[in-house]
Amino acid sequence: MRIQANHVFFSYDRLPVLTDINLDIREGTLTVLCGVTGSGKSTLLRLLSGLAEPAAGTILLDGGQAAAGNVSMVFQQPETQLFAGSVHQELEYGLAERGVPGPQRLELIRSALARVGLPYDEFGGRSPFLLSGGEKRRLCIAAAIASLPGLLVLDEPTAGLDPQAAGSLLELLHGLRRSGLTLVIGTHDLDSFLPIADEAIVMSQGAVHYSGPASTLSADPLVLTGAGLEPPAYSRLGHRLRQRGLLAELPDSLDSLLAALAEQPLPAPPEEAPPASVQIPRLSWSGGENLLPAKGNMAGRSSAATDIQTASARKPWQRLDPRVKWLGMVLGTLAVLGMQALLPLLLASGLITGLMLSARIPWQRTIRFFRPFLLMFLFLWLLSALTWSSPDYKLGPVGLSLAGMERGGLNVLRFLLLVALGFLFTETTTGAPLREALEWGIAPLKKLGIRTRNWSLAVSVTLQFVPWILDKLAQLQLALNSRGRKARGMARYTPRQVALLIVPLLILVIGMGDELATAVESRGYDPTKERTPAYLLSWQNRDTLVMLCILLAAALLWTVSRFS
């Protein structure tokens, strides 16, 4: 499949990520896409696979828009893109989404599994979650190629694999290329991929730094160093061997370097050997001085600047004693739970919105946090309005009831307010103050034999990982989208979608919990010992003032909800 990008722009949080990208990738080629972290590589991969839309410009596939199923993407972590109970179902899901009729599916599944070296008879019934790292990667590729796409996009396909698994995955991709599939591979591993690539694209600071034959990168290391990348080892070594007259030309792979060196009649070695190098060296790190990329790239610099800005804007909130914030959250939660009518709920909504504005939480962050909740709640709301018995509006066999809608709407609003309170609290309080205040608050429970220190630690670590969980959820959604259905809005939370997401999400969360528990233990955490807190609780006059305001607001809300 031929891919043409014309004047493509993309930005994220109003920061330009890609500027004026122009590409023409020929059908049946293997293209390596490289660049330092933050160069726009991953974003470009998503645009090429149709998982994101350019802000400006066009991406044409074979001169037009891609048909469903014609582009597939494989992401870096297999853990965030496997869903089903068996290898067979994993592949069947994508085929079903892409409208392949049932009877044709088995043949496509068998053939895709055969192509990646996972024979159907052996692997078809096994659980994807119990495969080895290398097998999971292969399965992801099988799921991507089952629908016979014209373009396969891969992000870091060999990262984290052991040498044998990485080697055989490379073979597999090389085989796919030979079979005529067009491949675009985003990678840092130039040593492995440049030798098998036809074309290469080097990204730097959101723009195309180089686009052309892959062999140029081996011949001219400056193209890579100019983009902050290190040339592959064979290219660095070839460069030096040539300087010493041991090679006639720069090699395009380690194998060609070895072959050329083997043919070369070697000149006599220099007579006086430098004595220092005879000893076993202390660790010596690779890379010649002239070829090493400049240290410290653009990545991260702009984000550091924004961090500092937002941190100073949130100061007044962070200066508050965490106990007063806990009090606000607990009273706020109780008040909201006691509300049955619209008026107090609207009043509380107004109050919480005002507080959120005053905390100056970045807008994009708020949207990212609330998006999954909003859609899920909207769905619940519709569900609560459905009725069979006494519908106000009929929609075929079911109907919608106004009373149900009202009841559901109020409940959803209450939930949203609770989520907003939690969000406001965690966004303005870091882990240590949150934990100290909680431990102070539940200290009396110690007398009952409850391990308050463990509890406060567990709560603060869990709250800290809510954004991580939402992030993983987004990655899983993206992977589901890449299997064919480009679900947007509410369609992302149909019961079927949710059922598919829940198992991998649980596995990720449990795995994370396990690793964190090990990390806690490894640091020598001992709840029985006296501890020195890094954060000291200190109650100031402003905290008393804020406490009075909270009590007043809670009383007001309670009164309004009582009499409305």
Footprint of another protein on 245-304 (CB under 8 A): 246, 254, 257-258, 261-262, 266, 269, 273-274, 276-278, 280-288, 295, 297, 299-300, 303-304
Residues 9 to 38 in contact with another protein, rule: CB under 8 A: 36-37
Per-residue DSSP letters for 278-316?
GSPPSP-----TTTSPPSS-STTHHHHHHHHHHHHHTHH
Binding another protein (rule: CB under 8 A), the pick from 7, 26, 240, 301 is 240
Asked if residue 162 binds another protein (CB under 8 A), the reply is yes
Which x/- pattern over 530-559 shows residues binding another protein (rule: CB under 8 A)? xxxxxxx-----------------------
Residues 59 to 88 in contact with another protein, rule: CB under 8 A: none
Whichever of 393 and 468 has its CB closer to another protein, that residue is 468
Whichever of 124 and 238 has its CB closer to another protein, that residue is 238
Whichever of 144 and 229 has its CB closer to another protein, that residue is 229
Whichever of 339 and 424 has its CB closer to another protein, that residue is 424
Question: Strand, coil or helix: what is 74?
Answer: strand
Answer whether 337's CB lies under 8 Å from 558's CB: no
Whichever of 213 and 533 has its CB closer to another protein, that residue is 533
Could you tell me which of 127, 122, 124 has the C-alpha nearest to residue 108? 124
Asked if residue 122 binds another protein (CB under 8 A), the reply is no
Binding another protein (rule: CB under 8 A), the pick from 188, 242, 368, 414 is 188
Whichever of 280 and 395 has its CB closer to another protein, that residue is 280
Asked if residue 521 binds another protein (CB under 8 A), the reply is yes
Binding another protein (rule: CB under 8 A), the pick from 307, 398, 451, 545 is 307
Stretch that binds another protein, among 6-14, 109-117, 129-137, 202-210 (CB under 8 A): 129-137
Binding another protein (rule: CB under 8 A), the pick from 129, 431, 470, 537 is 431
- End-to-end, the C-alpha distance of the chain in Å comes to 64
Q: Which residue has the tokens 């009841």?
A: 407
- Residue 12, H or E segment: strand 3-12
Whichever of 72 and 192 has its CB closer to another protein, that residue is 192
Asked if residue 52 binds another protein (CB under 8 A), the reply is no
User: What is the closest distance, in whole angstroms, from the C-beta atom of residue 149 to another protein in the complex?
Assistant: 28
Binding another protein (rule: CB under 8 A), the pick from 236, 323, 485, 492 is 236
* Rounded CA separation 202/222 (Å): 12
β-partners of residue 78 are: none
Which x/- pattern over 439-468 shows residues binding another protein (rule: CB under 8 A)? ---------------------xx--x--xx
Could you tell me which of 470, 521, 509, 215 has the C-alpha nearest to residue 365? 470
Residues 391 to 430 in contact with another protein, rule: CB under 8 A: 430
Answer whether 109's CB lies under 8 Å from 91's CB: yes
Asked if residue 311 binds another protein (CB under 8 A), the reply is yes
Binding another protein (rule: CB under 8 A), the pick from 380, 400, 469, 512 is 512
Residues 213 to 232 in contact with another protein, rule: CB under 8 A: 228-230
Whichever of 98 and 236 has its CB closer to another protein, that residue is 236
* Size of site (CB under 8 A) for another protein: 82
Q: Which residue has the tokens 């392949």?
A: 100
User: What is the closest distance, in whole angstroms, from the C-beta atom of residue 383 to another protein in the complex?
Assistant: 33
Stretch that binds another protein, among 18-26, 116-124, 156-164, 344-352 (CB under 8 A): 156-164
Asked if residue 316 binds another protein (CB under 8 A), the reply is no
* Rounded CA separation 49/151 (Å): 8
Stretch that binds another protein, among 7-15, 236-244, 330-338, 485-493 (CB under 8 A): 236-244
Whichever of 122 and 515 has its CB closer to another protein, that residue is 515
* Rounded CA separation 461/488 (Å): 32
Could you tell me which of 217, 238, 235 has the C-alpha nearest to residue 226? 217
Could you tell me which of 411, 401, 359 has the C-alpha nearest to residue 381? 411
Q: Which residue has the tokens 């660790």?
A: 283
User: What is the closest distance, in whole angstroms, from the C-beta atom of residue 433 to another protein in the complex?
Assistant: 9
Whichever of 93 and 369 has its CB closer to another protein, that residue is 369
Asked if residue 130 binds another protein (CB under 8 A), the reply is no
Looking from the CA of 199 toward its CB, the CA atoms found within 13 Å total: 21
* Rounded CA separation 46/80 (Å): 15
Could you tell me which of 339, 336, 337 has the C-alpha nearest to residue 563? 339
Q: Which pair of tokens denotes residue 176?
A: 């796919």
Note the Cα 246 to chain centre separation in Å.
46
Range 491-497 contact pairs with CB under 8 angstroms and sequence separation of 24 or more: 492/375, 493/375, 493/376, 493/379
User: What is the closest distance, in whole angstroms, from the C-beta atom of residue 262 to another protein in the complex?
Assistant: 6
Helix and strand numbers, DSSP H then E, in the chain: 22, 12
CB burial class (10 A; 0-12, 13-18, 19+) of residue 35? buried
* Rounded CA separation 154/74 (Å): 5
